[in-house]
């Protein structure tokens, strides 16, 4: 997500917060996610005077974005949702697979999104418990890379097998939506399992373009001469 934002907004300054001590959010309750999002947003405003906020997590968007918008009415807040709309538009078989966390697929926001695009498309939805955690853990220092890769492979294989057949033939899933921002780091594994004919969709670039549009519309887009591009982790 950050890479896409920097590509689309090369002159902006970014403050990146990874709540690694509590991530991933996908298997936590809404109340916990809402509390963490409220705390982080307040800290970002007080310590870094942010002009916009991108919630780079599907679960956090589903659980907390409406509350955050009420709490911070003057702050543009951009959320992340599984790419069901573009998937429905591009699928040739009209069968779309969606993998996401339990928190995302159980949310009313996801249910409404699915209903809105279900007229011509059948969505095969799979909650992938443990996958985001396995991916998150694999990034920590001192880990056994081979063991982590094997665990991610096993989880991906198990969940994809439960969804049905992938391919370009009628009735097969020809598009797979990555409904968790962690899953992009398992793209190679997922690609090997579903085959080259299946389109993999994530939301990084659409979210980056939406952020650009909001900043441009509100006159907050940083111009090239104002400052160099910079990304820094937040200090807590």
Partner residues linked to 177 by β-bridges: 98, 201
- The catalytic residues are 57, 180
Give residues with Cβ within 8 angstroms of 203, minimum separation 6. Answer: 80, 81, 82, 83
Among 104, 108, 100, CA closest to 128:
100
Q: At what angle do helices 30-48 and 58-71 cross, to 10 degrees?
A: 60
- Whole-angstrom CA distances from 142 to 6, 47, 62, 153, 183 are 29, 32, 33, 20, 21
Q: Would you give the DSSP letter of residue 44?
A: H
């Amino acid at each position: 997500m950050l890479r896409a934002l920097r590509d689309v907004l090369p002159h902006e300054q970014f403050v990146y917060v990874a709540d690694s001590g509590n991530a991933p959010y996908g298997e936590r309750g809404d109340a916990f996610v809402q509390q963490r999002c409220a705390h982080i947003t307040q800290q970002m405003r007080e310590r870094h005077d942010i002009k916009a906020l991108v919630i780079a997590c599907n679960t956090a968007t589903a659980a907390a974005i409406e509350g955050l918008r009420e709490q911070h009415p003057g702050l543009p807040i951009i959320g992340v949702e599984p790419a069901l709309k573009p998937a429905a538009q591009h699928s040739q078989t009209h069968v779309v697979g969606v993998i996401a966390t339990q928190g995302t697929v159980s949310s009313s926001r996801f249910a409404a999104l699915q209903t809105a695009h279900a007229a011509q498309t059948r969505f095969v939805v799979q909650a992938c418990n443990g996958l985001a955690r396995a991916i998150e853990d694999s990034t920590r220092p001192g880990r056994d890379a081979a063991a982590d890769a094997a665990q991610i492979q096993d989880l991906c294989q198990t969940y994809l097998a439960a969804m049905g057949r992938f391919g370009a033939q009628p009735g097969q899933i020809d598009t797979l939506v990555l409904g968790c921002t962690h899953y992009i780091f398992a793209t190679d594994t997922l690609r090997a399992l579903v085959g080259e004919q299946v389109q993999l969709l994530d939301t990084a670039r659409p979210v980056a373009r939406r952020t650009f549009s909001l900043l441009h519309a509100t006159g907050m887009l940083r111009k090239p001469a104002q400052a160099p591009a910079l990304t820094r982790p937040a200090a807590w």
